[in-house]
Amino acid sequence: ILAPSKEPNFIDVFYTDNTALVRAQQLLRTVNHKLAMALEISNITPWKWDLETDTILCDVNRSVELMGGENIDENRLAVPETAYFAKIHKEDRERIKQAYRDLIEGRAEKVKEEYRIVNVQKNNLHKVEWVEAQAAVEARDEDGKPLTLIGSSLVITNRKKMEQELTTAKELAEESNRLKSAFLANMSHEIRTPLNAIVGFSGILASTEEEQEKQEYVSIIENNNTLLLQLISDILDLSKIEAGTLEYVYANIDVNKMLSEIEQAARMRQTNANVAICAVTPLEGLLLYTDQRRVTQVLNNFISNAMKFTNTGSITFGYEEPKDGYIRFFVTDTGTGIPPEKVADIFNRFVKLDSFKQGTGLGLAISQNIVKELKGEIGVASELGKGSTFWFTLPYEKMGAHRSILS
């Protein structure tokens, strides 16, 4: 240290050991550096709210720059409280303001809230982040009125995303459990119905001598056998769909030949002479790369339903000329139609328009899953009292449709 001496033409020189001071400064810089890195890595933003100037030191999205330590102008990091709250999502803003009012006015000792902040990025895109803020009173005046608040903000967007995923998974698990219980309840009822008929009429058949009555009982038993077999087949298909093990075998199929075979089988099953069954095949030699067995299964489900609800008129099925890379199959009937309030639920499990009609209520649900697996769409158009059209689409590419499916 150099200083003018009291004697002319002299200066005073003083030496002092400041080793301890330098070491303390170095230690402080090291600690500040570690603290700043820790805050940055953990996305924690410390801040201080000056209630007298209505400013908040440190933007909610920036970490405090403690590194370097010297000559930091804190005012350049301060923002008006209006700017701070403007970033808070409008649905959360009033709740957060009230939480801070409770802290300032002494109704709460601490604030711990989660809320969303909105940042405007390039091209006016808005990015929403979740933040967890904690705060407490740092200093008070002589009367105990808060002068400054100190707190921290932690970005918890990933945590909120995980919480939402866990909540969704929990809801799906609960829904799956509910569906399982409903499935078992429905199945026990559906299986019991044909079994009771089979067992009951088999017992009566053994004690009946009249031939006409016997034939009637045999017919009832055969119908319920068919229903029971269909029910078991549907249950097996549904369980395979749930497990992802339902097999699909792709090949180039002759669509017209397939529809001709379906038409012959449908006419053999049709017992109502007042209903005509007709296949529509507008193109010759149409080839489609798909699973013939599954497409036939869906069409047969549609045709079987049409037979149940069509007493007079016709059942027409076939396809339309392919366009835009898809081919559309349809089954149109002149039956009773579907009530508008039930159209939206028609492809759900166990939905039956008439509980007195034979059926499992699973056919359309299975058909929907099959069409989805075949990369198509499914739907229905119906007018009550005039009939319905069930349809589905499949990918189509002329002369080599298989490439689009395998790619």
Total length of the chain: 407
* Predicted local distance difference test score (pLDDT) of residue 279: 95
Cβ contact 259:252 at 8 Å: no
Rounded to whole angstroms, what are the CA distances from 241 to 13, 231, 372?
Answer: 94, 15, 11
* Predicted local distance difference test score (pLDDT) of residue 295: 96
* Predicted local distance difference test score (pLDDT) of residue 239: 83
* Predicted local distance difference test score (pLDDT) of residue 126: 80
* Predicted local distance difference test score (pLDDT) of residue 315: 96
Signed CA dihedral, 342, 344, 346, 348: sign only: negative
Q: What is the mean pLDDT, run by run of 10 residues, along the chain of 407 residues?
A: 89 90 86 70 79 78 41 64 88 94 93 89 79 92 91 89 92 84 74 84 85 88 84 84 88 94 91 92 92 94 92 95 94 92 81 58 88 95 92 84 40
Output the pTM of the full model.
Answer: 0.55
Rounded to whole angstroms, what are the CA distances from 137 to 50, 111, 219, 258?
Answer: 11, 10, 86, 80
